[in-house]
Amino acid sequence: MKVNIISQIFDFIYPKTSFISEEWLGENNSNEFISDSEEQSLRKVTEDDLKNLEEKLISDHSFSYLAFYENDDFSKIIYNLKYRGMKKLGIYLGEIAGRELLKHIAEKDIGKFDMIIPVPLHKAKLRERGYNQSECIAKGIGKVISLNVRTDVLNRIRNTTSQTKLNKEGRFKNIKDAFIINEKTINEIKDSRIIIVDDVVTTGSTLNEAIRTIRQSTSSEILGCTVAMARD
């Protein structure tokens, strides 16, 4: 009771507002980040987008949920996730993507998976940010589809520069050989069905390098998954 009262007082003094509109979210809103109507209005990927994603990624299966345009509403959400310490926002994004992923898996009759592996950050970037946004998203997805998130399989051994300003060729060179697989996990995952998770896919270079690294040592069936797909 005391905790609930304190929470109510805190919400009164510091009311939760939308990251998009900055308006008060209200007591009955289903999440603490954006309004329910704003969530519904976020732009989704199309079937053509998903076909393009299949062509970009070297995974056996692929999925993305939201369309990412520079300076649109969703870009504000990603900014808060990456640069304002909003770990819970990543879990929320994972949950909404996870619900759609469940539908996608059922519709495509892809079958069950064994684990989720987030694309890792380099330890220097992890210290700087305090968390891996892809891991937060993966936890949200795992919560919805009842899968464990494994952070012990892939390691990032090169602290690469940001991919944001690079072209396709530059992204490929920048991320090449950035990951290694934890040899202690190879026997365990070698025949597993794996979902690899990142936040946003643009050219697919980062996801593909993570997938390639796992495939060097295993015969795992892989689904490449992101919350969003960059659009022009």
Q: Is residue 53 part of a domain?
A: yes
* Stretch 99-115: mean pLDDT: 97
Helix (H) or strand (E) holding 10: helix 2-13
* Stretch 49-66: mean pLDDT: 97
Beta bridge partners of 62: 224
Q: Give the pLDDT score at 14.
A: 52
Q: What is the number of domains present in the chain? A: 1
Q: What are phi and psi of 135, to 5 degrees?
A: -65, -40
Residues 155, 179: contact at Cβ < 8 Å? yes
Q: Give the pLDDT score at 7.
A: 45
* Stretch 188-214: mean pLDDT: 96
Q: Give the pLDDT score at 6.
A: 46
* More confident call, 108 vs 162: 108
Q: pLDDT tens-digit profile of 132-144? A: 999 999 999 999 9
Percent of the chain with pLDDT over 90: 64
How far is 151 from 121, CA to CA, in rounded Å? 10
Beta bridge partners of 221: 193
Integer Rg of the chain from CA = 18
Q: Mean pLDDT check: name the lowest of 38-52, 63-77, 152-166, 213-227.
A: 152-166
Residues 26, 67: contact at Cβ < 8 Å? no
Q: Is residue 119 part of a domain?
A: yes
Q: Give the pLDDT score at 84.
A: 84
Q: Give the pLDDT score at 223.
A: 98
Host domain of residue 144: 17-159+169-230
Q: Is residue 130 part of a domain?
A: yes
Q: pLDDT tens-digit profile of 12-45? A: 445 688 877 778 888 888 888 888 888 898 899 9
pLDDT classification of 4: cutoffs 50, 70, 90: low
Q: Give the pLDDT score at 118.
A: 98
Which DSSP letter does residue 194 get? Answer: E
Q: Is residue 8 part of a domain?
A: no
Quick one: which of 64, 94, 56, 62 has its CA closest to 77? Answer: 94
Quick one: which of 128, 141, 123 has its CA closest to 198? Answer: 141
Q: Give the pLDDT score at 181.
A: 97
pLDDT classification of 231: cutoffs 50, 70, 90: confident
Q: Is residue 3 part of a domain?
A: no
How far is 144 from 211, CA to CA, in rounded Å? 23
Other CB atoms within 10 A of residue 132 CB: 21
Mean per-residue pLDDT of the chain:
89
Residues in the chain: 232
Q: Give the pLDDT score at 41.
A: 84
Residues 222, 196: contact at Cβ < 8 Å? yes
How far is 218 from 137, CA to CA, in rounded Å? 24
Q: Give the pLDDT score at 165.
A: 67
* Stretch 87-97: mean pLDDT: 95
Q: Is residue 122 part of a domain?
A: yes
Q: Is residue 11 part of a domain?
A: no
Pairing of the two strands 193-201 and 115-118: parallel
pLDDT over threshold 60, residue 128: yes
Q: Is residue 26 part of a domain?
A: yes
CATH number at residue 195: 3.40.50.2020
